[in-house]
Amino acid sequence: MKYYFIAGEASGDLHASKVIAHLTTLDLTAKMQGVGGNLMEDAGMTLTEHYKNTSFMGFVEVLKNLPTIFDLFARIKKDILQFKPDVLILVDYPGFNLRIAEWAFKQNIKVHYYISPQIWAWKESRIHKIKAFIDSMFVILPFEKEFYQKWDYNVDFVGHPLIDEIHERSFLSESEFNAKHNLPNKPIIALLPGSRGQEISRVLPILLTVCGKFKAHQFIIAGAPHIEGKFYETIIKNQSVKVIVDDTYNLLNQSVAALVTSGTATLETALFKVPQIVCYKGNSLSYQIGKKLIKVKYISLVNLIMDELVVAELIQDDLNTERLVEELELLIYQESKIQKLQDKYIELIDKLGNQGASKKTAELIYAALV
């Protein structure tokens, strides 16, 4: 069978790579091609476009890059037609992937979607396109199945792939991690500023303003593998903050707290039971537009899944030095706050379901073809 994948960001690359790996064991004749990242390529997919060329964040940024986006659509459509896949597997990234789904449906290509668009947060009207153009939907958040049932659309809840990703790995000890990265023996506060250049340039400078306030700790940035070191250097300048690239899980495993840009990283941090502050700052116009459209109470996956304010969220103007210091002091020094958060993290993990999300997704994709 021939499988064409499209993943538009780092988290999609990770999750799709696991599905690809399982598909290659189910289907020994499988041929994989598509858009994604290094992990998907390493798992056995022929990479025709890297996701770093597809990441445009926010209304204003999309408008500025429309010619580039239209050109990208054209190239990918041409590649799909030449490859002639038995199935197109779209991974998250709804702004792009739902348009591709509509086009693929008109080409009589079977379309599966892994990791649902967050239409429960905004653009609920997208449900009509999903029902019309997507053959199968595999969701990873427990409340999504109920949401889709409300619209008379049956989906498969496969569990969250991060459960597997973390469970299957082994991690360095504190001494091994410090030796590997030449770190002093000081407690670590991790900075996870995101995977896109746009969000990093907005959020990281603010996060760095707290580093001098906690002299007993060391601050370490989780660097995205596709972002050049010089990019971080221009933001850090002369501050004594280290960037560790492509070793985020070992970093979280050794951290006493974390400042995390909203997104999948908030959930990853929770799965490591690291106390965190969720941070977000976008383009001012994009944020004001989004604020009017988004219907959910929280921006972090942790709070959304738990349906309560488990971790602090500092958004837009609230993301400032004073608030960061205030919240971080609670996470580091207040034992009762730390224990309560740990208890909530255990509840969260329970809600996310059993292991095997990627394997189950691969089996469902393959079963629909044979």
Strand arrangement, sheet containing 111-114: 46-50, 31-36, 2-7, 87-91, 111-114, 136-139, 156-157
Residue 127: per-residue pLDDT: 95
Per DSSP, helices labelled H in 107-141 are 127-133
> Is the C-alpha dihedral spanning 198, 201, 202, 207 positive or negative?
positive
Please, which residues have CB within 8 angstroms of residue 302's CB and are 6 or more apart in sequence?
Answer: 266, 267, 270, 276, 278, 310, 311, 348
AA identity, residue 172: L
| Residue 57 pLDDT grade (very low, low, confident, very high; cuts 50, 70, 90) | low
365 neighbors 358 (Cβ within 8 angstroms): no
Which pLDDT tens digit goes with each residue over 306-321? 999 999 999 999 999 9
Strand partners, 2: 31
26 neighbors 172 (Cβ within 8 angstroms): no
Which pLDDT tens digit goes with each residue over 330-342? 999 999 999 999 9
Residue 60: per-residue pLDDT: 47
Nearest to 240 by CA among 313, 298, 303, 182: 182
Which pLDDT tens digit goes with each residue over 96-115? 899 999 999 999 999 999 99
Q: CA dist 368 to 41, 362, 364, Å?
A: 24, 10, 6
Strand arrangement, sheet containing 188-192: 242-245, 218-223, 188-192, 255-261, 276-280, 312-315
Mean pLDDT, residues 145-153 taken together? 94
For domain 167-351, give the CATH number. Answer: 3.40.50.2000
Domains 2-160+355-367 and 167-351 share a fold: yes
Which pLDDT tens digit goes with each residue over 292-305? 445 668 889 999 99
**String of DSSP letters for 256-272:** EEEEEESSHHHHHHHHT
Mean pLDDT, the chain, whole residue set: 91
Which pLDDT tens digit goes with each residue over 236-246? 998 989 999 98
Residue 15: per-residue pLDDT: 93
Residue 255: per-residue pLDDT: 98
Q: Which CATH number fits domain 2-160+355-367: 1.10.10.60, 3.40.50.800, 3.40.50.2000, 3.30.930.10?
A: 3.40.50.2000
**Domain residue extents for the chain:** 2-160+355-367, 167-351
Give the span between the Cα atoms of 50 and 34, in whole angstroms. Answer: 9
Q: What percent of the chain has pLDDT over 70?
A: 92
Q: What percent of the chain has pLDDT over 90?
A: 74
